[in-house]
Amino acid sequence: MAKPRVVILGGGFGGMAAAKALGKDADITVVDRHNFQTFLPLLYQVSTAGLAADHVAYPIRGALRSFNGQFRMGSPISLDHKNRTVKLDSSEVLPFDHLIVALGSVTADFGTPGVDEYALGMKSIHEALMIRADVMRRFEDLCRFEDDTRFGIAVVGGGPTGVEMAGALAELVRGPLMNDQKHAAKHIDISLLEAGPRLLPMFSPSLSEKTKVSLEKLGVRVLVNTAVKEVAPRKLLLRDGSTLASEVTVWAAGVKGSPALERLSLPLDGTRLKVAPTLEVENYPNIWGIGDLAGAKSKDGRFLPMVAPVAMQQGRFIAAQILRRAKGAELKEFHYKDKGSMATIGRHKAVVEVKKIRFSGYPAWATWLFLHLFYLMGGRNRIGTIADWLWNYFTFDRGNRHIMDSM
Amino acid sequence: MAKPRVVILGGGFGGMAAAKALGKDADITVVDRHNFQTFLPLLYQVSTAGLAADHVAYPIRGALRSFNGQFRMGSPISLDHKNRTVKLDSSEVLPFDHLIVALGSVTADFGTPGVDEYALGMKSIHEALMIRADVMRRFEDLCRFEDDTRFGIAVVGGGPTGVEMAGALAELVRGPLMNDQKHAAKHIDISLLEAGPRLLPMFSPSLSEKTKVSLEKLGVRVLVNTAVKEVAPRKLLLRDGSTLASEVTVWAAGVKGSPALERLSLPLDGTRLKVAPTLEVENYPNIWGIGDLAGAKSKDGRFLPMVAPVAMQQGRFIAAQILRRAKGAELKEFHYKDKGSMATIGRHKAVVEVKKIRFSGYPAWATWLFLHLFYLMGGRNRIGTIADWLWNYFTFDRGNRHIMDSM
Cα distance from N-terminal residue to C-terminal residue, chain B? 55
Query: Which of A190, A193, A178 lies closest to A220 in space, CA to CA?
Result: A190
pLDDT at A28 over 70: yes
On chain B, the residues whose CB falls within 8 A of the CB of A36 are 402-403
Q: Could you tell me the pLDDT band of residue A176, with boundaries at 50, 70 and 90?
A: very high
Question: What are the residues whose beta carbons fall under 8 Å from the beta carbon of B374, sequence distance 6 or more?
Answer: none
Residue B104, Ramachandran bin (φ over 0: left; ψ between -120 and 50: alpha; else beta): left
Please state the pTM of the whole predicted model.
Answer: 0.94
Burial of B344 (C-beta count, 10 Å sphere; 0-12/13-18/19+): buried
On chain A, the residues whose CB falls within 8 A of the CB of B394 are none
The whole-number pLDDT of residue A407 equals 46
Report which of residues A93 and B398 the model is more confident about. A93
Contact yes or no for B92/B72 (Cβ under 8 A)? yes
On chain A, the residues whose CB falls within 8 A of the CB of B144 are 72, 90, 92
Contact yes or no for A48/A26 (Cβ under 8 A)? no
Measured from the Cβ of residue A395, the count of other Cβ atoms closer than 10 Å reads 15
Give CATH 3.50.50.60 domain extents, chain B: 5-33+74-107+256-326
Q: How far is A65 from chain B (nearest CA, A)?
A: 7
User: Judged by CB atoms within 8 Å, which residues 127-146 of A form the interface with B?
Assistant: 127, 136-137, 140-141, 143-144
Measured from the Cβ of residue B324, the count of other Cβ atoms closer than 10 Å reads 14
Give tens-digit pLDDT for A121-137: 999 999 999 999 999 99
Report which of residues B403 and B24 the model is more confident about. B24
pLDDT at A381 over 80: no
Mean pLDDT (whole number) for A346-353: 92
Contact yes or no for A342/A353 (Cβ under 8 A)? yes
pLDDT at B379 over 70: no
Chain pair A-B, CB pairs under 8 angstroms: 136
Give tens-digit pLDDT for A135-166: 999 999 999 998 999 999 999 999 999 999 99
pLDDT at A196 over 90: yes
Q: Could you tell me the pLDDT band of residue B183, with boundaries at 50, 70 and 90?
A: very high
Consecutive H or E run containing A183:
helix A182-185
Q: Choose among A54, A381, A407: nearest Cβ to B126.
A: A407
Written as one letter, the residue type at A171 is E
Rounded CA-CA distance A180/A175 in Å is 9
The whole-number pLDDT of residue B173 equals 96
pLDDT at A319 over 80: yes
pLDDT at B35 over 80: yes
Q: How far is B73 from chain A (nearest CA, A)?
A: 7
Contact yes or no for B203/B231 (Cβ under 8 A)? no
The whole-number pLDDT of residue B378 equals 58
Catalytic residue among A140, A146, A164, A280: A164
Rounded CA-CA distance A193/B133 in Å is 37
Rounded CA-CA distance B111/B45 in Å is 28
Contact yes or no for A308/A40 (Cβ under 8 A)? yes
Residue B328, Ramachandran bin (φ over 0: left; ψ between -120 and 50: alpha; else beta): left
What is the overall mean pLDDT for chain A? 93
pLDDT at B402 over 90: no
The whole-number pLDDT of residue B355 equals 85
| Record: contact A399-B62, CB cut-off 8 A | yes
Q: How far is B151 from chain A (nearest CA, A)?
A: 17
Measured from the Cβ of residue A21, the count of other Cβ atoms closer than 10 Å reads 18
Contact yes or no for B339/B354 (Cβ under 8 A)? yes
> How many C-alpha atoms does A380 have within 13 Å on its Cβ side?
29
Q: Is B55 part of the contact surface with chain A (CB cutoff 8 Å)?
A: yes
The residues pairing with B64 across neighbouring beta strands, listed in sequence order, are: none
Q: Is A366 part of the contact surface with chain B (CB cutoff 8 Å)?
A: no
C-alpha pair distances (Å), B18 with each of A224, A248, B138, B314: 50, 35, 42, 8
Rounded CA-CA distance A385/A389 in Å is 6
Contact yes or no for B37/B64 (Cβ under 8 A)? no
Mean pLDDT (whole number) for A357-362: 91
Rounded CA-CA distance B296/B12 in Å is 17
Chain B residue whose CA is closest to A383: B387
The whole-number pLDDT of residue B407 equals 46
Structure ipTM? 0.92
Q: Could you tell me the pLDDT band of residue A378, with boundaries at 50, 70 and 90?
A: low
Q: Choose among B36, B402, B406: nearest Cβ to A59.
A: B402
Please give the CATH topology (third level) of the domain spanning A5-33+74-107+256-326.
FAD/NAD(P)-binding domain (3.50.50)
Give CATH 3.50.50.100 domain extents, chain B: 115-253+340-395
Query: Which of B291, B345, B282 lies closest to B315 in space, CA to CA?
Result: B291
The whole-number pLDDT of residue A406 equals 57
Q: Is B72 part of the contact surface with chain A (CB cutoff 8 Å)?
A: yes
pLDDT at A405 over 80: no
Q: Is A182 part of the contact surface with chain B (CB cutoff 8 Å)?
A: no
Chain A residue whose CA is closest to B391: A380
Buried b (16+ CB within 10 A) or exposed e, A265-277: ebeebebbbbbbe
Q: Which residues of B are known to be catalytic?
A: 164
* Mutation to test the A interface, candidates B30, B32, B33, B35, most A Cβ within 10 Å: B35
pLDDT at A185 over 50: yes
| Record: contact B403-A73, CB cut-off 8 A | yes
Q: Is A378 part of the contact surface with chain B (CB cutoff 8 Å)?
A: yes
Chain A residue whose CA is closest to B406: A126
Q: DSSP letter string over A19-43?
A: HHHHGGGSEEEEEESSSEEE-GGGH
Query: Which of A194, A175, A177 lies closest to A135 in space, CA to CA?
Result: A177
Give tens-digit pLDDT for B4-15: 999 999 999 999
Burial of A320 (C-beta count, 10 Å sphere; 0-12/13-18/19+): middle
pLDDT at A338 over 80: yes
pLDDT at B37 over 50: yes
Among A266-280, A288-302, A387-401, name the one with the lowest average pLDDT. A387-401
Which class is B115-253+340-395 in CATH? alpha beta
pLDDT at B24 over 70: yes
Q: Is A406 part of the contact surface with chain B (CB cutoff 8 Å)?
A: yes
Written as one letter, the residue type at B322 is I
What is the overall mean pLDDT for chain B? 93
Give tens-digit pLDDT for A204-232: 999 999 999 999 999 999 999 999 999 99
pLDDT at A383 over 90: no
Mean pLDDT (whole number) for B170-193: 96
Q: Could you tell me the pLDDT band of residue B396, with boundaries at 50, 70 and 90?
A: confident
* Residue A164 appears among annotated catalytic residues: yes
DSSP state for residue B304 in the 8-state scheme: P
On chain A, the residues whose CB falls within 8 A of the CB of B387 are 380, 383-384, 387
Contact yes or no for B118/B231 (Cβ under 8 A)? yes
Rounded CA-CA distance A31/A258 in Å is 14
The whole-number pLDDT of residue B149 equals 93
Map residue B217 onto helix, strand or coil. Answer: helix
Burial of A361 (C-beta count, 10 Å sphere; 0-12/13-18/19+): middle
Rounded CA-CA distance B316/B321 in Å is 9
Mean pLDDT (whole number) for B142-164: 95
Give tens-digit pLDDT for B326-362: 999 999 999 999 988 899 999 899 999 988 899 999 9
Report which of residues A380 and A302 the model is more confident about. A302
The whole-number pLDDT of residue A55 equals 87
Q: How far is B139 from chain A (nearest CA, A)?
A: 10
Burial of B296 (C-beta count, 10 Å sphere; 0-12/13-18/19+): buried
The residues pairing with B212 across neighbouring beta strands, listed in sequence order, are: none
User: Judged by CB atoms within 8 Å, which residues 383-402 of A form the interface with B?
Assistant: 383-384, 387-388, 390-391, 395, 397, 399-402
Q: Could you tell me the pLDDT band of residue B267, with boundaries at 50, 70 and 90?
A: very high
Among A259-268, B57-66, B382-391, name the one with the lowest average pLDDT. B382-391
Rounded CA-CA distance A365/B243 in Å is 60
